[in-house]
Each structure stands twice: as structure tokens, then as C-alpha cells.
Chains A and B, each alone.
Chain A
Amino acid sequence: MTQILFKNINMKDLHTMKVYEEQGGYRSLKKAFAQKPEEIVEAVKASGLRGRGGAGFPTGLKWSFLAKDVFPRYLCCNADESEPGTCKDRELMLKNPHMLIEGMILCAYACRIETGYIYLRGEFHDLNFIMEKALEDAYAKGYLGKNILGSGFNLDIYTHLGAGAYICGEESALLNSLEGERGEPRMKPPFPAVEGLYAKPTVVNNVETLCVVPYIVNEGAEKYASLGTEKSKGTKLVSVSGHVKKPGNYEVVLGTPIREIIYDLAGGIRDGNKLKAFIPGGSSVPMLPADQVDVSYDYESLAAAGTMLGSGAMIVIDDSVNIVETTLRLISFYMHESCGKCTPCREGTRWLYQIVEKIMQNKGQLDYIEKMEDICDNMNMKAFCPLADACVSPVVSSIKYFRSDYEEYFKNVPVGSV
């Protein structure tokens, strides 16, 4: 299998400058500096790279949206990694911090940015040390700072720790948080590319997204674009967790059948149980039942199947589980993480929680399911940011595919009782 991000991932001391350089690290800089910034943006566009943080927005296009002639501009690496099921960025930074720095330098050069921040979720205090050490080494080598490698290009990168809030992964909430505010999302427009950090044009990209850029610069956009499907280019890290024999982060070429990911890479379902459902893109995307396991893992196929690739977290659920339990847990997550700013999200998540909790106490009423669907409809796409929609996903999909799991709980309920 083609490995771009994880090629040497388990190599000893890959996190050190020495080993990273031995493996060809930072080689892309010279190549990049020989080109005009716009050429790199074009290359990233041509590579077909799409954002790996969840939304899947074409990266090169995003870079080209930066407000013209407005400076300074900022780069924010989204290392908030909080989407349940997702832990790929953590492994990338832990084992290969320089790859992210190299990617950030390339992005900054392409976008004429001189200051970058790595927004790490607060719990990644350990990673902060690793990133800071790597940054220090990069400064020492002249990869960061003033006049990098004689190119005349300057760049400073700093780390910034959050403090425990899932919503700060949402890019505009991240910017607020980085500006020292409550992590409530901002109104859009203006989008960060126009008015982002400190109201200046800002690129926000996920760790994995940025880590791909050195490969594109080194090997060329065509080579990257030759991987994957027509609309989903390249490889993707998939965090496989749940009831599999070999959970782990795996790099797959987009278009790989999900069956291969679950059964070949992750070793299949454990304890002799059967696959019941899987959530293919982190907790915020709709789940699919076992019979969809042959869908191929790429943006368009998953969309056609009614779900999303999201952040690339494959949560595998076996048939020992009643889906209502996992659904309640996810609703509880979104209720806990709702910033509280807008009404449908703040109130809707809690109401859904109350209803499912009641159901699980065998106290539900038969019309609860319809009511939940209606509440979800009232939340969906009506909230301030996509967090409410994310909460709706597991609820609606669990009802759609596993209605009988809900009905289990209604069996003992006398009709009409509360």
C-alpha cells in the first residue's frame, strides 16, 4: 500500500531532526523557494487534496481565497483533534512533528504568511513539548525565522494550547479561542480567509492536511493525484477503533473498500462477534449498518451512502451492542460540548438526551421516535454552527437503521404510560 504520511511512522527517532532529515525531511523547502508562491497553490489545487479535518474542502482553493493584498496573514494549524474516534493527528505529531512543520512552512510560503500557530487541544500538553522541541530544532537549522534558507522568506511558528472544548475544533471557534475569548463560533461570512485571526486573512488547516503538502511539493501534484478516485485524491489516515481486533491508525488510498479497512487492516471483529454498524468519519457523521461494508472509502461514495468521510475515524460496533446506548453517549457528548450560544443546539441536545434517557429506562412512549425525528429536523441546519447537525447525525441514522433497537425498550412499556 502506498504510504505517504505513515511511510516511516514507526522508525526509531523519526521525531528528531537528524532522522527526519536523513529520510529526506525539509528537502521540499529548497524546491518550493525556487518557485513562485502561486505555483505551489496551483500545485496543491492540482493535487486534488481536500481538507482532512472534517469538511473536506479543497485545500488549494481555500488558499486561493485569501483576501488579496491584505497583510499580515496568519496560518492556524488545527490540532484540536477532538472528534470522537479520531486520533490520527496525535500520532502524526507525536511521531513525526517535523512533517507538520515542513508542511506549515510550505503553506505559509505559498500563502505569503509570516506567522503560524499550532492550536493544540489543551489535553495535548505532552505534544506541546514535542512540537516546541521540534520547532526549536527547526529554528536552529534555519528552517524557521528570518530569511529562511536565504530565500528572503520569514516565518515564525508558535504553539498554542486550548483548554478543553470540542467546539474549538470548529475553525472560527478556534480563532476566538486563540484570541483569548470564549470558544464560541463566529458568524460567517466573513470566512477566515477574509477575516480570520485578528480580523486578518487566515488559513486554517488540519494537521494531516498540512502534512501532505511536502509530498506534493517533492513528488509533484500529478503523482499525488494519481492516487485515489476521481474526486478523492491521495491517501487518508483512518483511525479504526471500537470492536476490532487490531485498532489503530491506518493510511489507506482513498477508494479502498471499507471491508478491507475493517477486516484486513484492523483484523476484523473481535470475540467472534458480527459487525453491526460502523461510523465512517467520526462521531459527527451518520452511521451505516453492516450491509454497507462494501462501500468504498472516499468522499463521494460515502456521500452517496448518506454519510460522510469526516475526519476519517472508523468506529466499529459489533452486534453485542444496542445502538441506543451508543447514541445516548454521543448525544451526551454533544450536549456537554454545545457552547450554549444558540438555542436549537443548547436546548435540542439536552432535550434529545432527556428523551433517549427516558427510553433507556423503559419509560419511553411510542411517539418518542417521531418526536425525536422532528426535534432533529428542527435542529438540523438551523443552528449557529454544525455542532447541532453533528448531534443529529447519530440520532437520525440510528433511528433509520436500528429502529428495532429502540423498540426493544418499548416492549415492556404499557401503552399510554410515561
Chain B
Amino acid sequence: MSGFTFSAEQEKEIENIFAKYPFKKSAMLPLLTLVQRAERRVSPEAMVAISKKMDCSPAYVQSVMSFYTMYHAEKVGKYMILFCINISCQLNGCDKLLEYTAKKLGIKVGETTPDEKFTLHREECLALCTEAPMMRINDTYYGDLTEQRIGQILDSLD
């Protein structure tokens, strides 16, 4: 299987990653994250490329990759919305807001908009309970959500 190569920049990044650990194998999650962030998914081709870097079987890469929820086999949208539905957010009405968000995006929870802009996922506690309800879009946390605020946030993203 071919079709995936690391860019020169990524190669450099990978070297830096390896330098952090006394054993190569610790670089597994960082490499998967690198790919996920660049490709918005981890393809089988990328897993093969990672397995070569890591000197392990591609099956092993897939085994690790499929354990963690932040890696996706299918491509996700440009904006990955993780909507917390755990207890503190539940107590603060997240269920309705999630429904609202899905409706606003015109998709079901778990889906990606046809233009591949947004993916909406239900997420377990993300550690911003004191500002519940909350969501995370890509790397940014948004707390104290209301319908209005969600609307504004989504509209501000292009």
C-alpha cells in the first residue's frame, strides 16, 4: 500500500517527536495526532507509513488508533465540534442545545455536513464543567453555551 508520504515538514516534526522519548514506541500517539490533524482522518495508507516509522505492524497501529476516540477512520469536517453531554452539562441543558446545533447544521449528531465544514460529535466530559454547557471546536473550548451563543460561534467560523 502506498499513497501516503510525510511532508518534509512532518519529517522534521517526527524527528522532534522521537527526540522526546528514550523509546521510539512512545511516538505512536503523537504521530497519529500529526496525521489526524493534517488529513482530518487516519487512512490505512497513513497507518502503513506510521508502522514503518515505528517499526511495528500496521495492525498494531490500527489497534492503537481505533482505541482512541480522537482518531477517525473517516474524514471529519474542517471544524470538529465535540459537544459535551456528560453530567454537569446535562444538568445544564446540553441535550436541547445539542439538538439545536444539529438542526442548525442540518445534520444528525455523529455526521459531517455535506460541505465537509462541520462534524458534530457527542462527547464525554471535557473538563470545563464549571462553565457547562460547553463544547470544543477544534482546539478551542466554548463554555456557558446558549442557543444564541452557539449561533454566533458557528457563524463566526468560515
Contact = CB atoms under 8 A, between A and B. Distances in A.
Interface of A: 72, 81-87, 89-90, 115, 121-126, 158, 160-166, 177-184, 198, 239-243, 247-249, 279, 283, 313, 315-317, 321, 325-326, 329-330, 333, 336-337, 339
B131 interface: yes
Given A241-B91, A242-B92, 20 more contacts: A82-B124, A85-B87, A85-B88, A85-B125, A87-B127, A122-B70, A123-B136, A160-B26, A162-B29, A163-B29, A163-B69, A164-B71, A165-B69, A181-B28, A183-B67, A242-B88, A247-B132, A315-B91, A317-B91, A325-B90
A163 B82 CA distance: 13
Nearest to B22: A198
A336 B124 CA distance: 9
A274 to B, nearest CB: 14
A181 B30 CA distance: 12
A87 B126 CA distance: 8
Contacts of A339: 67
A180 B28 contact: yes
Contact of A180 (B64, B70, B88, B136): B64
B90 A179 contact: no
Interface string B126-141: 1111111000100111
B99 to A, nearest CB: 15
Contacts of A125: 139
7 contacts: A81-B127, A122-B29, A164-B71, A182-B64, A249-B130, A315-B87, A329-B86
Interface in B22-47: 22-23, 25-30, 32-33
Of A163, A313, A333, most buried by chain B (CB within 10 Å of CB) is A163
Contacts of B33: 122, 161, 163
Contacts of B23: 179, 198
Given A165-B68, A315-B88, A317-B91, A180 B132 contact: no
A178 B26 contact: yes
B36 to A, nearest CB: 8
Contacts of A182: 63-64, 67
B90 A248 contact: no
B125 A333 contact: yes
Residue of B63, B71, B128 ringed by the most chain A CB atoms within 10 A:
B128
Nearest to B140: A126
Contact of A239 (B68, B69, B91, B129): B129
Smallest CB-CB A-B distances: 7 pairs: A180-B28, A163-B68, A164-B69, A164-B70, A241-B129, A241-B88, A84-B125
- Which of B28, B29, B69, B129 is packed against the most chain A CB atoms within 10 Å? B129
Nearest to A270: B92
Nearest to B144: A247
B66 to A, nearest CB: 9
A86 B124 CA distance: 12
Given A126-B139, A163-B33, A182-B64, A82 B125 contact: yes
B54 interface: yes
A172 to B, nearest CB: 15
A115 B20 CA distance: 10
B26 A330 contact: no
B85 interface: yes
Given A121-B127, A180-B64, A183-B68, A330 B87 contact: yes
Contacts of B92: 242-243
B7 to A, nearest CB: 20
B29 to A, nearest CB: 5
